[in-house]
Amino acid sequence: MKPLFIAGNWKSYKTLAQAREWVDGFSKYSDELKALSGVTTIICPPYTLLSYVAQQIEALQLPLVLGAQDVSQFDEGAYTGEVNASQIKEFASWVIIGHSERRRNLGEPDDLLAKKVRAAKKAGLKVLYCVQDEAVWVPEGVDIIGFEPPWAISAVSHGRAMLAATAERVCVQIKATNPAIPVLYGGSVTAENIGEYVNQPSIDGVIPGGASLDPEKFANLIRAAVNSHK
Ligand code: PGA
């Protein structure tokens, strides 16, 4: 069975108190989820919660690895407001780069994203690089590609996740130009529809946003993914 990746993206949600509630809730499923094999679950909280979540993963032995949602293109230095890759590496092993919300809301272009990938790799971080279709350029050195059609993100209430067969066709094309890199699908993934995605031969996992915010829903999603994964 191919390895399965689930990368939960909290986006700009959760205070420390809310993160505590999430950890309390998720830890109830810890033993059960630890017994599942073949799945790597990455959780990506905002910067402010990386330290807390890292401590809890360690203390409670949660079956999670930690990721950040962005990284500075710069090393340490006089770059007010930036968080550099070495600072992230103190807590996390992964980073998301190129999410469509940052491309759209912060205007991040390909050349900036390539600099972020270089900075992340230099510090020893693994990179989950998001693309919005098969034509988007992928910089050298990324570890996983996330295919996320922007129209399907946060659209779960309108029933607009991309059809799994359509997502599969795009992932096949992404793999054709980026061989040997796992490709995940993101966009309104839930415990109910996850099985359709992870059963596709060219989809190696998923990136749930909204469905990662509630610990019970997230645990259900991980269980459903593993149970329906071929
Ligand atoms: P969503 O987000 O699951 O809430 O649609 C996915 C993502 O943007 O990573």
108 is annotated as an active-site residue: no
- Determine the pLDDT at residue 157: 57
pLDDT of amino acid 161? 85
Tokens at 51, concatenated: 């330290």
Active site residue 158: no
**Which one from 21, 32, 90, 99 is the annotated catalytic residue?**
99
For the stretch 21-54, pLDDT in tens is: 999 999 999 999 999 999 999 999 999 999 999 9
Please give the pLDDT value at position 121.
Answer: 98
Kindly give the confidence (pLDDT) of every residue in the chain, 230 residues in length, as a single tens digit, with 9 standing for 90 and above: 789 999 999 999 999 999 999 999 999 999 999 999 999 999 999 999 999 999 999 999 999 999 999 999 999 999 999 999 999 999 999 999 999 999 999 999 999 999 999 999 999 999 999 999 999 999 999 999 999 999 889 876 566 789 999 999 999 999 999 999 999 999 999 999 999 999 999 999 999 999 999 999 999 999 999 998 76
Query: What's the 186 CA to ligand 1 centre distance in angstroms?
Result: 6
Q: What is the pLDDT of residue 85?
A: 98
- The set of protein residues with a Cβ atom below 6 angstroms from ligand 1 is 9, 148, 153-154, 186-189, 207-211
Q: Whose CA is nearest to atom 3 of ligand 1?
A: 209
Residue 109 has a pLDDT of 97
- Which of 101, 128, 151, 188 for mutating ligand 1's site (highest number of atoms within 8 Å of CB)? 188
Q: Which of 101, 148, 168, 196 is catalytic?
A: 148
The pLDDT, as a whole number, for residue 222 is 97
Nearest protein Cα to ligand 1, atom 9: 209
pLDDT, residue 159, reads 63
Q: What is the pLDDT of residue 158?
A: 61
